[in-house]
Amino acid sequence: MVPGPEGKDKIVGETALGSLAYAPQAQQHAITKKITRMLMTTKKFIQNSFIWISVYSTVLVMIIEIKNYFRG
């Protein structure tokens, strides 16, 4: 607190308390947004990975079946 008249001390104190009270909330909101965005990106990536794995495995099975058909 800044030395000086009582009113000035009080204003500085309240401002400091106010910034302490609001800064973490804003920071927390930003962190929550980042985590949410990251999870959504991860979810999309996992979904795409499963789609491509299923496509590739289907194609691989078809190739093996065709090879076995012509071999036998």
Q: What is the pLDDT of residues 20-50, one digit of tens each?
A: 556 677 777 887 888 888 888 988 999 999 9
d(CA 39, CA 32): 10
d(CA 59, CA 56): 5
* Structure token pair of residue 13: 């104190």
Query: To which residue do tokens 């008249």 refer?
Result: 5
pLDDT at residue number 54 = 93
Is a pLDDT exceeding 70 seen at residue 65? yes
pLDDT at residue number 14 = 52
pLDDT above 70 as % of the chain: 67
Give the residue among 41, 14, 70 at the shortest CA–CA distance from 2: 14
Instruction: Answer with the residue of higher pLDDT: 72 or 35.
Output: 35
Give the residue among 48, 60, 7 at the shortest CA–CA distance from 68: 60
